A = this chain, B = another copy of it.
Amino acid sequence: MTRDLSALDDCLAAVDADGYLVDADGTDSNQRYLSGFDAPDPFVTLYVPGEGIHLLVSSLEYGRATKVDGVASVARLVDYDHRDNVTEHGSVAGRARTVATFLADHAVGSAAVPADFPLGVADALRETGVDVTADRTDVVTGVRATKSAEEVEHVREAQRANEAAMAAAEELMREATVEAGVLHHDGAVLTSERVKEEIEVTLLRHGCGLDETIVACGADAADPHDRGSGPLSADEAVIVDIFPRSKATKYHADMTRTFCKGNPSAEMRRRFDVTDEAREAALAALEPGVTGADVHDAVCDVYEDAGYPTLRSDPETEVGFIHSTGHGVGLDVHERPRVSPDGEELRPGHVVTIEPGLYDPSVGGVRIEDLVVVTESGYENLTDYPVEFVL
């Protein structure tokens, strides 16, 4: 994978560190990005400018680690008497002893580390004389924000699976009958759980997994973090938010649609239309050089002009537009850049969501979310799914 690590070099120079050290489990996206290695167990990644990536892994991971493209060296814990260190000093300080010797082998006396580096190992490393500085700028996350063409393709592939899953969810609700105000399918009440199961099975069939999905109806949908549960009601808005991860590439997609089986209230329909208008305003504002804050402001403008509160107009509001406009998507489903009041400058290769929404427990919730990549000339919408409300 093509990666421009010059920002990391600058970061190391700025804090006068010899290398950048990550000690994390295999799910840590910064470590995965830097190392290119995907392991189920914790391992250690050391970046040294001019040398590249050195890995320190368990013996079980060694064979696969040596096959990773572009890694400068791979060592095993056993090469540094790790078991003896743990026996003598305990698991945390023992791990630090092992890592300290590994650092010394690479002439690294001072290390910059991610802000979420484990404190126990950091303090124990300091006790052995290693200088450890937490990088509060989150430099690797910043590097990850700009995607290569290959990474954009990974996101696009996950988004195709996402669309298949959304179609499966929509079809279930479209086919449903309404009995006493509640959706029924295949002779049973159609629940949020049933729709989520269909979404997740569809994603699996398309090579993606995910841990959570949101299928939230009525008042549930008025809480943006409620995943939804129980029977789906007719004439109410149902928010479907799907954020799968490709099993092969580990890159995510993210999309939300809001549906209504039956007849939405006039107010709910208005909220849907205003939210779609806010989405279009955000997209119209999106181009390289503007900030995530600018795009967020475009959404707030639409909502406030339509008479709905936002956190910009009222920081204490619990109804209206009560979250950010979007976020970066990549190895993590939420990553930089932010499309929010403190959103940074947007650049070509940034992959972000645009997801305005309105919430009020007495009315329900609506959210419409597209996934886009910023390009040299503007943006490309990676989302190929209609924006329709009433089924």
Selected contact of A204 from candidates B119, B197, B318, CB within 8 Å: B197
A41 CB within 8 Å of chain B? yes
Q: Are B119 and A134 in contact (CB under 8 A)?
A: yes
A120 located at the interface, meaning its Cβ lies under 8 Å from any Cβ of chain B in the complex: yes
Q: Is the CB of A115 within 8 A of B92?
A: yes
**C-alpha spacing A247/B213, complex, angstroms:** 11
Residues of B within 8 A of A205 (CB): 197, 201
A223 at the interface (CB under 8 A from B): yes
User: CA separation between A118 and B132, bound complex, in Å?
Assistant: 13
Contact B115 A116, beta carbon cutoff 8 Å? no
Given A118-B116, A118-B117, check contact A40 B212 (CB 8 Å): yes
Residues 42-55 of chain A: 1 if any B CB is under 8 Å from the residue's CB, otherwise 0? 00000000000000
Of B61, B91, B92, B116, the contact of A225 (CB 8 Å cutoff): B61
Specify the main secondary structure of chain A where it touches its partner: mixed
Q: Across the interface, name the chain B residue whose C-beta is closest to A211.
A: B209
How many whole Å from A310's CB to the nearest CB in chain B? 13
Q: Which of B119, B132, B323 contacts A132 (CB 8 A)?
A: B119
Chain B residues lying within 8 Å of A108, measured Cβ to Cβ, are none
Q: Does A260 contact B (CB under 8 A)?
A: no
Give A220-242 interface residues, CB cut-off 8 Å to B: 223-226
Q: Known: A86-B342, A118-B116, A225-B41. Contact between A136 and B201, CB under 8 A? A: no
A322 at interface, CB cutoff 8 A? yes
In this complex, what residue of B is CB-closest to A341?
B83
- In the complex, the chain B residue whose C-beta lies closest to that of A41 is B225
Interface string of A66-93 (1 = CB under 8 A from B): 0000000000001000010011001111
- CB-nearest residue of chain B to A227: B40
What separation, in Å, do the CA atoms of A110 and B272 have in the docked complex?
Answer: 49
CB within 8 Å of B: which A28-62 residues: 39-41, 59-61
| A155 contacts B by Cβ under 8 Å | no
Of all chain B residues, the one with the shortest Cβ separation from A124 is: B136
A64, A90, A124, A211: residue with the most chain B Cβ atoms closer than 10 Å: A211
Besides the contacts A91-B136, A116-B118, what 12 more A-B pairs have beta carbons closer than 8 Å? A40-B212, A41-B225, A60-B322, A60-B323, A92-B115, A115-B120, A119-B119, A119-B134, A120-B136, A123-B134, A201-B201, A204-B204
Residues of A near any B CB (own CB < 8 A): 39-41, 59-61, 63-64, 78, 83, 86-87, 90-93, 113-124, 132, 134-138, 197, 200-201, 204-205, 209-212, 223-226, 247, 315-316, 318, 322-323, 341-342
User: Can you show 27 pairs from A to B with CB atoms below 8 A apart?
Assistant: A39-B225, A40-B212, A40-B225, A41-B225, A59-B322, A60-B225, A61-B225, A64-B226, A78-B316, A83-B315, A83-B341, A90-B137, A92-B115, A92-B138, A113-B119, A115-B118, A115-B121, A116-B119, A116-B120, A117-B119, A118-B118, A120-B134, A197-B204, A197-B205, A204-B204, A209-B211, A211-B247
